[in-house]
A and B are shown apart, each in its own frame.
Chain A
Amino acid sequence: MSKITNDIVSKYQESDFSAHQLSNLSIDDPEDAELAYTMRDMPPRVVHTFPRDIPVKEGSSRPHTPGTPTRGSSSMGRSYLESEPEGLRRSQLSSMSSLDSSVSPSRSKSPWGRFDPYDSAEDQDKEYVGFATLPNQVHRKSVKKGFAFTLMVAGESGLGKSTLVNSLFLTDLYKDRKVLNAEERIIQTVQITKHTVSIEEKGVRLRLTIVDTPGFGDAVNNTESWKAVEDYIDQQFEQFFRDESGLNRKNIQDNRVHCCLYFISPYGHGLRPLDIEFMRALHGKVNIVPVLAKADSLTPAEIRRKKIKIREEIERFGIHIYQFPDCDSDEDEDFKHQDRELKESIPFAVIGSNMLFESKGRRFRGRMYPWGVVEVENPAHSDFLKLRNMLVRTHMQDLKEVTRETHYENYRAQCIENMTRMVVTERKRSLCSRLRESSSDLPIPLAPVDSETERHIWEKDEELRRMQEVMQRIQEQMQLTHKDGF
């Protein structure tokens, strides 16, 4: 589960470094290949073609011993990066002189272990520059830096949000939470709470922030209750914008909300007015993933009906939820099938639980009813696994990207537009005031002429901008036709 992989660290502590230990540097299970998902550019199948055991030869291939345990990976990386071009040079020479057709000794020095894209037999004789290892380098750097993800959960109270978060990330974030009773809730307003937890799994660190919205939808009058949430998201964008435009940009903390799980009540007939308003207010600022809460109160037929209804209503009201990226046409059928299934499962019907049960030798999270036991992670019982896979294993990076590239950019563009508009109006206003002042001094009507020219300039500016827009549009069109041409 999520604990520090002590075995790797302890191995680093031994100063003497054998080949066996080195192979542990690389991740030895095929399922760890999912780490590759953290970088979207690296498709999983490339990894599967790598041979399992890399013949790592000892002796000369170990020029430096590692330093301290935690810095072990970085020093290793550095040392091998240095030796890599050397090795490559040697391999190039060998191929040119056609001395050795077998595996040249330089191959064994590859620091990438099984990730090395040049290790297949057919690549031995061809000439390569070697930049196909760029993804590996990025991967290493990112793993070192760790990842951050901010998830927001929103919905009425009592829909199982906290339980689901705990089940998703196998933590207990809400230990000291106090649930208010109804009297206290009458006067409470919507609050925003943040919990941050650092989890680590197989050497990869994730700083997870959960933003909760207690009080949302609880009052008798819920008008504008989503305002607090909207303001919070805008605040994070603003903070980032300011940091980005600041002087020291090295350590910007990214607190922008990457994904919002919106909990839909299973008791209603589809979406409620409050749900529609909330999603409409926020779909332009954050990736919304709708979730059908407490799905164990529904029969399979009811779940199917509700999903169809909710999807239809989402379309009808023009709500833009997070769209999964389409898979490329060259992916295999299995992948495409999975992708299609995922898209048809929206909203995810989930169940959460903090209680562990044991049955037939395996432990699972579930809920025990007099008529049966529900398993949280059983795909026949709920879409919990699908949601977790989507959120963590396959689409976490995409969520962050969309936040960065779409929502944040929209915000930024809006901000800049507002600023320039303010500046322009300021200029005009100051001009007018100057005008008013100056007209008293000067008998000659110079001032109106001044304003005239100013207005003229402004008009020309506008025209220029409009023409720029038109040009942009034409460019885009050209690009499209260019693409279609192929």
Chain B
Amino acid sequence: MADVAPPEVRPKPVVPAKPPHVAPPPIPSHPAPPSGPAVQRSGGSTLLGYIGIDTIIEQMKKKTVKTGFDFNMMVVGQSGLGKSTLVNTLFKSQVSRKCSEWGREDKIPKTVEIKAVSHVIEEGGVKMKLTITDTPGFGDQINNDNCWEPISKFINEQYEKFLKEEVNIARKKRIPDTRVHCCLYFIAPTGHSLRPLDIEFMKHLSGSVNLIPVIAKSDTLTPEEKFEFKQRVRKELEVCGIEFYPQKEFDDDMEDKSDNDKIREVMPFAVVGSDKEYQVNGKRVLGRKTAWGIVEVENLNHCEFSLLRDFIIRSHLQDLKEVTHNIHYETYRAKRLNDNGGLHPISTAVDTHESNL
């Protein structure tokens, strides 16, 4: 279902394509003689010796390390739900908007603003350009009608920018990818159910971006309350037809489906963020210290932050980008091309090239 374009036609080192007919070997560390299943998969022709096709993984890895890659995340939620703290905790560095401004600017803006901050993080030789987009002012006013519109507009603008670059005659070797790959939506831990505002937002945006709902500041809820709240939230999302990431319809195969099902059972993740460290049992852990105990952020009994982090960064980072590119962007592109019967530049970005198809 996910149409993967072969690497030659669309040079996008950002999204290394999966080679179609080779089952990825577990550790591409040495060109060992091919194992049985790999040979059988290639449609019946048995290989008489080792070719070395599987080294493509190594090559891709080298290329990625050289070029680095982009990841754009957006955080949405009412003010005070711990969005910036959570992002800082996720990427273990001060990457959120609050730290790049001169002080804690806590005034609530009158309209929803979009503020993006970029940082380059490096780990194990791999460079990642991380962009966090914050949305201060969302849901904070007395009248919150259509407060999702600026956000929706922003997301579509990024798609539009990319589309424009793509259809240029002389286009860049590597199109800068500012599209939002993942949108974390912060749900207030009321313990009852979702708010009307939450539902409205998610309804309008689950079709254009990968939406990951999280329960913010979940140290307010006892384990029983957490469980009940999650069940209610999941039910409501289902009733309203809101598909959050990982979307059921994009599961490639049974393996994916079972993995993702397991994750979907636990979502929305109940998280706690913190940038302070405390000593617990001789170890230094990130946590929050209260008069009755210390909430450990990375302790699975306390909250599900580790699950969220592993999910976003360690297992599904690439998938997030792929789904954004192959599904959401394609949907937008198809709509745009169909609507106008050709590509007319729309009002947003600066037009340097008139493009024609």
Contacts and interface: CB of A to CB of B under 8 A. Distances in A.
A and B co-occur in one complex: yes
B135 to A, nearest CB: 15
A158 B142 contact: no
A186 interface: yes
A321 interface: no
A296 interface: yes
Contacts of A297: 189, 217, 219-220
Contacts of B222: 367-369
Nearest to A367: B222
Given A183-B240, A272-B108, A221 B220 contact: no
A98 B295 CA distance: 76
Given A372-B292, A372-B293, A183 B236 contact: yes
Nearest to A226: B142
Contact of B195 (A182, A225, A370): A182
Contacts of B236: 181-183
Contacts of A182: 193-196, 198-199, 236, 240
Interface stretch (B74-82, B119-127, B315-323, B347-355): B74-82
Interface string B173-190: 000000000000000111
Contacts of B144: 220-222
B243 interface: no
B232 interface: yes
Contacts of B296: 371
A371 B301 CA distance: 9
A156 B197 CA distance: 13
B157 interface: no
Interface string A250-274: 0000000000000001111110111
A85 interface: no
B289 A218 contact: no
B336 to A, nearest CB: 29
A159 B196 contact: no
Contact of B80 (A218, A269, A273, A277): A269
A464 interface: no
Contacts of A274: 142
A445 B11 CA distance: 99
Contact of B302 (A183, A186, A270, A371): A371
Given A158-B192, A179-B192, A182-B196, A273 B140 contact: yes
B294 A371 contact: yes
A269 B80 CA distance: 6
B52 interface: no
A157 interface: yes
Interface string A209-238: 000000000111111010000000000000
A217 to B, nearest CB: 9
A140 interface: no
Nearest to A294: B220
Interface residues of B, number: 47
A365 interface: no
A277 B108 CA distance: 15
Contacts of B195: 182, 185, 218
B118 to A, nearest CB: 25
A186 B199 contact: yes
Interface string B188-232: 111111111111100000000000000011011011000000001
A380 interface: yes
A380 B293 CA distance: 13
B143 A222 contact: yes
Contacts of A185: 193, 195-196
Nearest to B232: A181
Contact of B197 (A179, A220, A381): A220
Q: Which of B79, B143, B188, B236 has the largest number of chain A CB atoms within 10 A?
A: B143
Q: Which of B141, B190, B198 has the largest number of chain A CB atoms within 10 A?
A: B190
Contacts of A266: 220
A60 interface: no
Contacts of A268: 78-80, 140
B193 A220 contact: no
A457 interface: no
A373 B188 contact: no
B45 interface: no
A360 to B, nearest CB: 15
Contacts of B216: 267
B292 A369 contact: yes
B219 A369 contact: yes
Interface in B38-88: 78-82
A158 B193 CA distance: 9
A34 B291 CA distance: 31
B289 to A, nearest CB: 6
B217 A183 contact: no
A312 B222 CA distance: 32
A300 interface: yes
B145 interface: yes
Contacts of B192: 157-158, 179
Interface string A286-312: 000000001011111000000000000
Q: Which 3 A-B pairs have the closest CB atoms?
A: A158-B190, A372-B293, A372-B292
10 contacts: A180-B193, A182-B240, A183-B236, A223-B143, A267-B217, A268-B80, A296-B292, A369-B219, A369-B295, A375-B292
Given A294-B220, A367-B222, 9 more contacts: A180-B193, A182-B193, A267-B81, A267-B188, A297-B189, A297-B217, A369-B219, A370-B302, A371-B292
